[in-house]
Amino acid sequence: MSQDLIERRPRLMNTGEVAKYLRVSRSLIYRMAREGQIPALKVGRKWLFRKETIEQWLAEREDVLIATEQGEEHN
């Protein structure tokens, strides 16, 4: 497999890697994936997560949190 093809493949993480990345428990990641609260792919019995999608998801949540906090400051 060429290096170019490897670099273009999306980086996939498992539940343990996502839990470590987000600094939460694996059981929380499993629950959030089952409930559709975090973007995930189920392949067989495994949950997989695209790193770039998780980063985008985090950024969107941060934007909502910041907007909410700014709205509270103006009340």
Tens digits of residue pLDDT in 53-72: 999 999 998 877 777 777 76
Of all residues in the chain, what percent carry a pLDDT higher than 70? 80
Tens digits of residue pLDDT in 22-53: 999 999 999 999 999 999 999 999 999 999 99
Task: Show the DSSP H helices in 23-50 as ranges.
Answer: 26-34
Q: Which residue has the tokens 């559709």?
A: 36
Q: Which domains does the chain have, with CATH numbers?
A: 11-73 (1.10.1660)
Q: What is the pTM of this model?
A: 0.74
Strands (DSSP E) found in the chain: 12-13, 41-43, 46-50
